[in-house]
Structure 1
Amino acid sequence: MMTEDMGVGLGWDDEISKEGPDFILLPAGDYDFEVTSFERGRFDGSDKMSACNKAMLNIKIETAEGIAVIQHNLFLHQKTEGFLSEFFTSIGQKKKGQPLKMNWNSVVGAKGRCKVGIRNWTSKDGNPMQSNEIKKFYEPKETEAVQTTFTPGSF
């Protein structure tokens, strides 16, 4: 799916001027987010979980320091069903205690609140690296849930 956050491609002879990547490492904490893109993918499986479909999301978080985008995968598997429920509850699609047929068509543009952490890892060339990861999606407050499900002009 294409969104305006994906930018535009450059031609071979175009002029460039940006100085380095637009990467912001957020401090661990709670943030409002918006889903800016969604792709369907496949997880090949591991020692802990069998192969399954996965949703690859780009989650945008706006802060005073700038905009951070976190890539987040949701695995469509029985073992991770609780995480799926947490995500869909956060964006106002699922009500706690009620089953939900996941509506992936309404994920892009959805907003919610999440807990962001910092993941430490080692690059292929052995350098220590850090990136943000989403640890938890929060249930919206009652007033937020009403606002996220209301669409002006639709009846």
Structure 2
Amino acid sequence: MDYQNQYGYGQQAPQQPVNNQGTALGWDDEVEEKTYTLLPEGEYPFRVEGFDREQCNGTEKMPPCNAANVHIVINYNGEEVRIDKKLFLLSTNGQLFAFFKAIGAQTLPDGRIKMDWTKVPGAEGRVVINRRKYNGNEYNNIKSFVDPAKVQPQNGWQGGRF
């Protein structure tokens, strides 16, 4: 992209975040330190802040498909920890079923769940977090979504609210 021609020297780019990727800064803007909270491994209540619809081009192991980049928020010691989880819309993706089950979607008589994306923002459930290593750094990773029927009350969590 040619920023010189689009914004001109000395002009600021529009300050609009795009898909949680941050905002463009001007040359003289201030920046702040970004901190990252690494959660202890375990089970946590979560809330879905929102999601982005994306398209995956496919790989050797996966055909092209739609994907939802789901923005999960976990309240940890009063701090909101955000974790993104990409859910590929494939019939073989068990985490897609587990996600909808975790947020309380009803299972149909044939054992399937109808994905209702309008109910995803603001939905709550429980998730198991572990750590993932990438390029020498550790990150929070969503290992699995928890079926509400199998939740053991703990840490003050009362059936879907945190």
Q: Which bin holds the TM-score, normalised by the shorter protein? A: 0.7 to 0.9
RMSD (CA atoms) = 2.8
Q: Which of 1 and 2 has higher RCO (CA within 8 Å, sep 6+)?
A: 1
**Equivalences for residues 1-155 of structure 1 within 5 A:** 12=26, 16=30, 18=32, 20-64=33-77, 66-80=79-93, 82-95=94-107, 98-122=111-135, 128-141=136-149
Cα distance change of structure 1 residues 11 and 77 upon mapping to structure 2, 3 Å threshold:
closer
Cα distance change of structure 1 residues 117 and 142 upon mapping to structure 2, 3 Å threshold:
closer
**C-alpha separation in 2, matches of 1:38 and 1:83:** 16
Structure 2 runs not aligned, ≥5 long: 1-19, 154-158
1:23-64 CA-partner distances (Å, limit 9, x unpaired): 211111110000001110011111211111000111000111
Shift of 1:17: 7.5
Name the amino acid aligned to 2:115.
M
Identical counterparts, % of pairs: 32
Cα distance change of structure 1 residues 10 and 135 upon mapping to structure 2, 3 Å threshold:
same
Shift of 1:66: 2.1
Name the SS of the counterpart of 2:88 in structure 1. strand
Cα distance change of structure 1 residues 141 and 46 upon mapping to structure 2, 3 Å threshold:
same
Given the two structures, how large is their TM-score scaled by the length of structure 2?
0.71
Name the amino acid aligned to 1:118.
R
Name the amino acid aligned to 2:132.
R
**C-alpha separation in 1, matches of 2:137 and 2:28:** 31
In the alignment of these two chains, the number of paired residues is 133
Given the two structures, how large is their TM-score scaled by the length of structure 1?
0.73
Name the SS of the counterpart of 1:79 in structure 2. coil
- Compare CA radii of gyration and give the structure with the larger one: 2
